[in-house]
């Protein structure tokens, strides 16, 4: 390959690091550029009150491709633990276990509600969506009761829009097979619970241990990772890609793999998109996230890993307890840390609240939902500007335009959650990195057939909660 490097990777999250490691193992000269001071992006871990925590609730799903899972086991060994999932979901003002089990729902939910769910499940095959919105698709498939109790309020909280203004593609990508209406169907048909989705993988030292291990392996294989190196421009010049950082460093390579947000790549790349494609990129929106870490004095707060709250009584969508995701002697026994997730806009009032006020928001949510009181001794917060892509009705046209531009770029490949404007899980992102490297041919060309086939596989993924 031409250029001083074979491959320049933009972004040191799961997708970029997986690509860097796989490419370095092939003997390619690889440099990774990351604007943050640590690797991992939203998959990184850090310490609060002496305890390793994540950016919200993170898990490695058991459906991770076997070859990728074997690689991660090889890197982490026994530190990659297979753990039982012990979550809870707030529905009809009651807590039920998650993953959902038909037997528990039959005991816990109000009988009139169960009767409506059963009736709507039985007639599901007769319903057709009234349009291609999130609301129309889910009400046709699940029925009005479950939509109004769970998915409608959840959409408003998570994406800031009513379901009627969200694309039906959001429903197809976010609603997995292990959903309440499937459980309701089992209740009606007297089928037993299958137990799927009740286990997950999680590292002993936090989810970020995965990306840290990938970074170490990539470095050991010869890749160079440059931190605090924010990319300022990407230029395709004949048979190489020239990448410039804000500090003025220049890195040239035969190919560039970008995991940057697709609209950002459009702004800094040359050749640039057309004016109409730039306008399409500007119409793609992300939901921000406030993460509130509350330090609890007195050991574990509850035995559960996470509590999900789809209702509108609080802006919090989920409260997780990282220490319950793992078995680690390094975790302090006299305290715990809760992480409350608040999706929002950066213009919302909650975005500007101070830490203690946000701690009060958590206290109020606990009281409103019947959760135990926290013995609060400290609060820390993180503000994340771009977390969830918002699939507004009609977004497909705008995404399609800018995605077509990115596909036509020579020697630049965009992938990962941000690079494809998708909701995929971490294992999907890492597999994208693998597949992108596998499309690099030994003669320096990029196999567009192989990559297009891989992208078609990605398009079929359903995000697992």
Q: For residue 214, name the pLDDT band (cuts at 50, 70, 90).
A: very high
270 and 220 inside one domain: yes
d(CA 39, CA 180): 36
pLDDT at 181 over 80: no
Domain at 236, CATH number: 3.50.50.60
pLDDT at 105 over 90: no
Strand positions, DSSP E, 214-284: 224-226, 231-237, 240-245, 250-258, 269-270
406 and 385 inside one domain: no
Q: Is residue 67 part of a domain?
A: yes
Token representation of residue 444? 């320096």
d(CA 17, CA 11): 8
167 and 299 inside one domain: no
Domain boundary, last residue among 138, 162, 189: 189
136 and 268 inside one domain: no
Q: What is the mean pLDDT of the chain?
A: 92
pLDDT at 215 over 60: yes
Helices 426-438 and 66-76 cross at an angle (nearest 10°) of 100
295 and 381 inside one domain: yes
pLDDT of residue 191: 42
77 DSSP assignment? G
pLDDT of residue 122: 85
d(CA 136, CA 165): 10
279 and 347 inside one domain: no
Range of the domain at 292: 285-390
Read off the pLDDT of residues 413-438 as tens digits, 9 standing for 90 and up. Answer: 999 999 999 988 899 999 999 999 99
Q: In what order do the strands lie in the sheet with 318-320?
A: 94-98, 87-91, 306-308, 318-320, 335-344, 285-297, 376-390
Q: For residue 118, name the pLDDT band (cuts at 50, 70, 90).
A: confident
265 and 411 inside one domain: yes
Q: Supply the pTM of this predicted model.
A: 0.93
169 and 249 inside one domain: no
pLDDT at 160 over 70: yes
């Amino acid at each position: 390959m031409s250029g001083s490097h074979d491959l320049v990777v933009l972004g040191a999250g799961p997708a970029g690091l997986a690509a860097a490691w796989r490419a370095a193992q092939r003997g390619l000269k690889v440099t990774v550029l990351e604007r943050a001071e640590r690797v991992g992006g939203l998959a990184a871990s850090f310490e609060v009150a002496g305890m390793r925590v994540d950016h919200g609730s993170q898990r490695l799903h058991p459906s991770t491709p076997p070859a990728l899972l074997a690689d991660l086991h090889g890197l982490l060994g026994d530190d990659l633990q297979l753990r039982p999932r012990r979550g809870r979901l707030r529905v009809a003002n009651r807590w039920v276990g998650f993953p959902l089990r038909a037997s528990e729902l039959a005991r816990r939910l109000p009988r009139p509600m169960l009767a409506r769910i059963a009736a709507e499940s039985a007639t599901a095959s007769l319903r057709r969506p009234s349009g291609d919105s999130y609301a129309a698709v889910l009400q046709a498939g699940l029925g009005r009761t479950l939509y109004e109790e769970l998915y409608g309020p959840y959409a408003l909280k998570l994406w800031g829009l009513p379901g009627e203004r969200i694309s039906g593609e959001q429903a197809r990508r976010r609603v997995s097979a292990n959903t309440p209406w499937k459980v309701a169907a089992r209740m009606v048909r007297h089928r037993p619970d299958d137990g799927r989705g009740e286990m997950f993988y999680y590292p002993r030292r936090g989810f970020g241990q995965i990306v840290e291990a990938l970074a170490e392996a990539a470095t050991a294989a010869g890749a160079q990772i440059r931190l605090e190196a924010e990319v300022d421009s990407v230029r395709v010049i004949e048979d190489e890609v020239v990448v410039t950082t804000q500090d003025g460093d220049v890195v040239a390579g035969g190919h560039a793999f970008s995991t940057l947000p697709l609209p950002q790549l459009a702004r800094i790349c040359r050749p640039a998109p057309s004016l109409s494609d730039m306008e399409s990129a500007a119409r793609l929106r992300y939901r921000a996230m406030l993460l509130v870490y509350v330090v609890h004095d007195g050991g574990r707060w509850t035995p559960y890993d996470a509590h999900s709250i789809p209702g509108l009584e609080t802006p919090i969508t989920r409260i997780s307890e990282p220490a319950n995701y793992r078995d680690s002697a390094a975790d302090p026994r006299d305290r715990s840390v809760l992480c409350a997730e608040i999706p929002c806009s950066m213009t919302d009032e909650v975005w500007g609240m101070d830490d203690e006020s946000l701690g009060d928001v958590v206290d109020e949510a606990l009281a409103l939902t019947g959760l135990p009181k926290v013995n609060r001794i400290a609060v820390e917060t993180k503000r994340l500007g771009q977390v969830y892509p918002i699939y507004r009705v009609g977004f497909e046209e705008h995404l399609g335009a800018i995605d077509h531009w990115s596909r036509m770029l020579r020697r630049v490949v965009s992938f990962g959650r941000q690079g494809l404007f998708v909701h995929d899980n971490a294992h999907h992102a890492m597999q994208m990195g693998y597949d992108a490297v596998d499309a690099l041919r030994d003669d320096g060309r990029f196999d567009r057939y192989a990559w297009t086939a891989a992208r078609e596989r990605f398009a079929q993924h359903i995000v697992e909660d």
